[in-house]
């Protein structure tokens, strides 16, 4: 599916955005297209039973956990006495490779299955993220399953949330096969998997703005966002959730009209409308603040708290025209000093981390809340080799190089660099437990 978007980076209110304009003009069309470009997921054979979207499955929430092989308290305290900055490090070569592949995992989405689609340069699979001052263990599926026993994890956001969830499912499936128990919406944008071995569930909620929004269409070429109202497609189920993973950002770069207090606040790139042009950074901040405050208010009033992780913005790596061969041609990670985190990528990350810290202060007034930013922006920035590129579709060059080749330089191949996001995710959960 192709979408035409006219210069969505024109932002007269922010000089930073003006600086970014020349190299982003040709990037937004594929971003918008890829956020909307979905095809059904294939699953490991299981009996999928549809149930009402708001109906809980059989789980016991907020359980106390026990670890048969857990270290003594002193050793555990020692392991985490100095919190690790997982965002500071480098990619190192690793011949062990990923936990899974395209044949052992049945939940890889069509557009992320790079190996099956003919990508032959598999060197991108043999790198691991190494933090500068601490160790990042390999993902341990049994440990993850033990931590989420009797719990419900909800991934909420855009296609990057879905990408991270798909990676996690593939990694866990090496120890326990997930059963698809629910699907709903276009391209199954609302789905749930259950792990009978641990009575645990992982859900996907499509919500690209987190707040209430109306997505653009052929008849309306802009999104509509209501910045002071959380998206009830996931908000109404919050009492069923034990841990929420939020991931969003790319959709805020698109043309949109913003509402607050039932009035138009302004818009981003809407030349045909008589609205004030405003930048998307403040809008991103408002949307995340509304989301985190709503979670705290709704769960804090009941005194039972909740765990929340915000996965930070992940940069794209378009280097050429999105519909030509070679749009994301790199086959190795950037070295640490080869690429700086700056401009739009740095600003988006900054907003998200600041709002998580603000939410922590608010949550301290209520019950048990744990909030954390899963800071992967720099990790992602250094991996231009990890995107599907033309291999979002099967064997794109089997008949030679065509004039037009659809490229995905936004999402991540599975397996691929995004698996490291979930290694850090597990370490955060281990620290909390």
Residue 29 pLDDT > 90? no
- Better pLDDT: 45 or 175: 175
The set of residues, in sequence order, having a beta carbon less than 8 Å from that of 386 and lying 6+ positions away, is 124, 412, 413, 416, 417, 418
Would you tell me how many other CB atoms lie within 10 Å of the CB of residue 62? 12
Pairing of strands 179-184, 152-157: unpaired
- Catalytic: 262? no
Give the per-residue pLDDT at 254. 94
Give the per-residue pLDDT at 154. 98
Give the per-residue pLDDT at 81. 56
What is each CA distance from 63 to 71, 299, 411, in whole angstroms?
20, 16, 34
**What mean pLDDT do residues 194-202 have?**
97
**What mean pLDDT do residues 57-62 have?**
43
**What mean pLDDT do residues 368-394 have?**
96
Domain ranges across the chain: 111-431
- Catalytic: 411? yes
**What mean pLDDT do residues 65-90 have?**
59
The set of residues, in sequence order, having a beta carbon less than 8 Å from that of 403 and lying 6+ positions away, is none
DSSP E strand boundaries for 54-209: 89-93, 127-131, 152-157, 179-184, 190-195, 200-206
Pairing of strands 263-268, 243-247: unpaired
Q: Point out the catalytic residue in the list 194, 317, 387, 411.
A: 411
Give the per-residue pLDDT at 180. 96
- CA dist 14 and 59 (Å) reads 47
Q: Point out the catalytic residue in the list 323, 375, 408, 419.
A: 408
- What class, spelled out in words, does domain 111-431 have in CATH? alpha beta
Q: Is 95 exposed, middle or buried (0-12, 13-18, 19+ CB in 10 A)?
A: exposed
Q: What is the pLDDT of residues 125-170, one digit of tens each?
A: 999 999 999 999 999 999 999 999 999 999 999 999 999 999 999 9
Q: Do 109 and 166 touch, CB atoms closer than 8 A? A: yes
The set of residues, in sequence order, having a beta carbon less than 8 Å from that of 188 and lying 6+ positions away, is 40, 41
Output the CA angle 164-169-175, nearest 5 degrees.
Answer: 140
Q: What is the pLDDT of residues 230-264, one digit of tens each?
A: 999 999 999 999 999 999 999 999 999 999 998 99
Q: Do 65 and 150 touch, CB atoms closer than 8 A? A: no
Give the per-residue pLDDT at 48. 39
Q: What is the pLDDT of residues 295-334, one digit of tens each?
A: 999 998 776 789 999 999 999 999 988 888 889 999 999 9
Q: Point out the catalytic residue in the list 11, 87, 152, 159.
A: 159
**What mean pLDDT do residues 202-206 have?**
98
Residue 270 pLDDT > 60? yes
Of the pLDDT bands very low, low, confident and very high (cuts 50, 70, 90), residue 401 is confident
């Amino acid at each position: 599916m192709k979408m035409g978007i006219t210069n969505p980076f024109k932002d007269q209110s922010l000089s930073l955005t003006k600086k970014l304009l020349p190299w982003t003009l040709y990037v937004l069309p594929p971003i918008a297209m890829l956020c909307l470009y979905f095809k059904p997921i294939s699953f490991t054979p299981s009996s999928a039973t549809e149930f009402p979207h708001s109906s809980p499955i059989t789980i016991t929430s907020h359980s106390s956990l026990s670890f048969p092989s857990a270290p003594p308290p002193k050793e555990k305290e020692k392991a985490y006495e100095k919190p690790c900055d997982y965002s500071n490090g480098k990619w190192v070569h690793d011949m062990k490779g990923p936990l899974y592949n395209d044949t052992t995992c049945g939940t890889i989405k069509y557009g992320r299955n790079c190996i099956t689609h003919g990508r032959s340069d598999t060197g991108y699979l043999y790198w691991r993220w190494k933090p500068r001052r601490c160790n990042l263990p390999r993902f341990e599926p049994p440990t993850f399953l033990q931590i989420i026993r009797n719990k419900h994890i909800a991934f909420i956001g855009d296609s990057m949330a879905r990408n991270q969830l798909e990676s996690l499912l593939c990694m866990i499936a090496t120890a326990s096969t997930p059963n698809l128990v629910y699907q709903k919406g276009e391209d199954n944008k609302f789905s749930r998997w259950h792990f009978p071995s641990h009575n645990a569930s992982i859900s996907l909620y499509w919500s690209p703005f987190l707040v209430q929004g109306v997505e653009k269409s052929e008849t309306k070429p802009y999104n509509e966002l209501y910045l002071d109202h959380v998206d009830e497609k996931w908000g109404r189920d919050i009492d069923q959730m034990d841990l929420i993973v939020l991931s969003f950002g790319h959709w805020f770069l698109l043309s949109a009209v913003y509402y607050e207090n039932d009035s138009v606040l302004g818009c981003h790139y809407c030349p045909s409308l008589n609205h004030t042009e405003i930048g998307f950074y403040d809008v991103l901040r408002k949307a995340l603040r509304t989301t985190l405050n709503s979670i705290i208010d709704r769960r804090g009033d009941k005194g039972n708290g909740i765990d929340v992780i915000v996965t930070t913005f992940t940069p794209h790596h378009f280097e050429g025209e999105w519909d030509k061969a070679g749009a994301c041609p790199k086959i190795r990670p950037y070295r640490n000093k080869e690429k700086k985190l700056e401009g739009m990528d740095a600003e988006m990350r900054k907003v998200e981390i600041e709002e998580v810290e603000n939410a922590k202060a608010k949550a301290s007034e209520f019950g048990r809340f744990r909030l954390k930013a899963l800071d992967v922006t720099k990790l992602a920035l250094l991996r231009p080799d990890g995107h599907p590129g033309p291999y979002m579709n099967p064997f794109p060059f089997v008949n030679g190089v065509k004039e037009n080749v659809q490229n995905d330089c936004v999402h991540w191949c599975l397996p691929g660099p995004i698996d490291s996001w979930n290694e850090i995710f597990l370490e955060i959960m281990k620290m909390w437990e």
